[in-house]
Amino acid sequence: MRFFKQLVLAIAALAVVVAYSPQVSAQSGKPIKIGFSMALTGVLGAGGKSALIAMEIWRDDVNKKGGLLGRPVELVYYDDATTPAKVPAIYTKLLNVDKVDLVVSSYGTDVIAPAMPIVMRSGKVFLGLFGLDVNHKFKYDRYFQIMPAGPNPAQDWSRGFFDIAKEKGLKSVAIAGADAEFAQNAVKGARANAKQDGLNIVYDKSFPPSTADFTPILRAIQATNPDIIYFGSYPANSVGIVKAANELGLKAKLVGGGMVGLQFAAIMKNLGPGLNNLVNYDFWVPAKTLKFPGIEEFLKKYQAAAAGKGVDLLGHYLPPWAYAYMQVLGQSVEATKSLDDKKLAEYIHKTTFNTVVGPVKFGKNGEWATSRALMIQFRGIKANNLDQFKMEGTRVVLKPDTVKSGDIMFPYKK
């Protein structure tokens, strides 16, 4: 009888421990494996590393709260080296060998597109991280893009840039883009916007992504005397363009548009005053209009985790969105109580998600139902000063009007 009473007391005590230990259930179940390739080396390697840090913060945040469906979350990933040819084999391994439960994409258009056929054959939900207009040729109803380009992404991406040109009565445009998928999608949209607005396209050419010296290209553009110059470029290209533009004293009235890299902390610090007056896309900057619940707490965690790792130290551009696309996936799993891709896709299509980048609602094609691609203008940038980019006003949000933080400085001033 005494033994029986002791056994009952022991079982009761164990029940209390389990009830008040939220991590017990998360540690006791089979892990939910989320698989992806990531650009950890190559041209987008620095950005991919910063995205991975954000994803690991999300994983740790979720696991501290008990995981998903009472199971711990595990990330399974491989470096795609920003090389499209490596991507299909990685996703084949993730699905067939690693037997992951869920998949998300790598960072960037060029390495998302080659994953699509593999993911589609498996019927998996696929959340994309900064792919521009990837789904226009696949039309996959389980694809969802966290980048806020809008329902017509190629055009919505640069719409704000051309709206500014229209408001200022500008008439002619030069368009130049790197000969690669993202940049070509960007300039395709820019070309469509220019034609829609009745602008005279005086220059429209591509350049190799390996281009280092942009002086001849900018001289050729300058000779056409355009009011506007729209670039679709990768980080190294963008640095070369800005430096050459400053050396030549480029005189167009509106310059920038689709230049990747001008959002990264190290590049902004390096270019310093050379950025002043440029108008370029972005997705999050320090502005009162963009202070969404959770964003500042996330950035503190990211900046602490990023120190000394050779990645973007501010984390304003890519990391919040990498955290947010994992939030969308995690919230969907918890709401549906399922890992079934059909149920997840149906839920994602009909739901508005609360994330660190604000409310997220997807349209029928998996892009954002309403565009929130920012056009910002660099103002008052000083040399060799990273902290200035933490302050409101160095990157003024011009478009869209719903989150505008200031008016364009036009004509430009020194």
pLDDT of residue 111: 96
Going from N- to C-terminal start, the domains of the chain cover 29-151+292-361, 153-289+372-403
Provide the residue type at 97 as one letter: V
* pLDDT for residue 82: 95
The reply to whether 29-151+292-361 and 153-289+372-403 are identical in fold is: yes
Within 13 A of 40's CA, how many CA atoms are on the CB side?
11
CB count, 10 Å around CB of 78? 19
CATH class of 153-289+372-403: alpha beta
What's the pLDDT score for residue 12?
46
The reported pLDDT for the residue numbered 13 is 45
Q: Identify the pLDDT of residue 7.
A: 42
Q: List the CATH code of the domain at 29-151+292-361.
A: 3.40.50.2300
In this prediction, residue 138 carries a pLDDT of 97
Contacts of 171 (CB under 8 A, 6+ apart): 199, 200, 227
Residue numbers of the chain with a pLDDT score lower than 70: 1-28, 412-414
Residues 265 and 129: beta-carbon distance below 8 Å:
no
pTM of the model: 0.88
Phi-psi region of 331 (alpha: psi -120 to 50; beta: other; left: phi over 0): alpha
pLDDT of residue 413: 61
Name, in order, each residue with C-beta under 8 angstroms of 100's C-beta and a sequence gap of 6 or more.
33, 34, 35, 76, 94
3-state SS track over 293-316: CCHHHHHHHHHHHHCCCCCCCCCC
For residue 119, the surrounding DSSP H or E stretch is helix 116-122
Q: CB burial class (10 A; 0-12, 13-18, 19+) of residue 20? A: exposed
Look at residue 43 in the predicted model and tell me its pLDDT. 86
The pair of structure tokens assigned to 13 is 């005590």
Nearest-angstrom CA–CA distance, 158 and 71: 42
Q: For residue 290, what are the CA distances in angstroms to 53, 260, 278, 321, 395? A: 22, 20, 21, 13, 12
Residue 400: what pLDDT? 97
Kindly report the number of other CB atoms within 10 A of residue 55's CB atom. Answer: 22
What pLDDT does residue 89 have?
A: 98
